[in-house]
Amino acid sequence: MLLWRTLTEKSLSPKLVGKMRRYRLTRGEGVLSFQGELLAYHRHAEQEDAPGYPGVSHLITLAIFRTRKGRFVVYYIVEYPDNEHLFGQHQYVTHLPEFGDVTRFVAAMAYINVEPFRTKVISEATARLSPSA
């Protein structure tokens, strides 16, 4: 019997990059389940000299997965500290058909601290997707 791992921060570690796993993420009253390979991830807390962003919405985590069927899942966590409509950390998932769409999606993110996430995650995922020479 194959286990479905709930997608959490522990699901994002160096030893799991490049390995096929089954993931599930509770979304409201439903569940998103997929089997995929973690291509790349970045956490704000792991960044050297990571600045704080009091009162400003910012990324906490960004990860890219390639599903078994060759599509892509972008998983990200945003913290909303002083927003009257949203408060705390919120998880988001976007399912995209091609890696070019992933690149455009991440490039369009406008969070204050998106640049180190964008640079690291896109370059690592691109390297992992490139055939080895």
- Segment 29-72, tens digit of pLDDT: 777 788 888 898 887 655 566 566 566 677 778 889 899 999 99
For residue 133, what pLDDT is reported?
45
- Global confidence as pTM: 0.80
What pLDDT was estimated at residue 110?
A: 81
More confident residue, 133 or 66: 66
Distance from C-alpha of 22 to C-alpha of 62, rounded to nearest angstrom: 18
Q: Which residue has the higher pLDDT, 21 or 16?
A: 21
Q: What distance lies between CA 81 and its chain's CA centroid?
A: 20
Residue 60, amino acid: I
Provide the residue ranges of all domains of the chain, joining segments of one domain with +.
36-129
- Contacting residues for 78 by C-beta, under 8 A, at least 6 apart: 57, 58, 59, 60, 89, 90, 92, 111
Tens of pLDDT along 99-131? Answer: 999 999 988 888 877 777 788 888 888 888 887
Q: Evaluate if residue 97 carries a pLDDT over 50.
A: yes
Q: Residue 3: is its pLDDT beyond 80? A: no
3-state helix, strand and coil shares in percent for the chain, rounded to the nearest 5: 25, 40, 35
Structure tokens at 86: 């949203």
Phi, psi of 105 (to 5 degrees): -65, -50
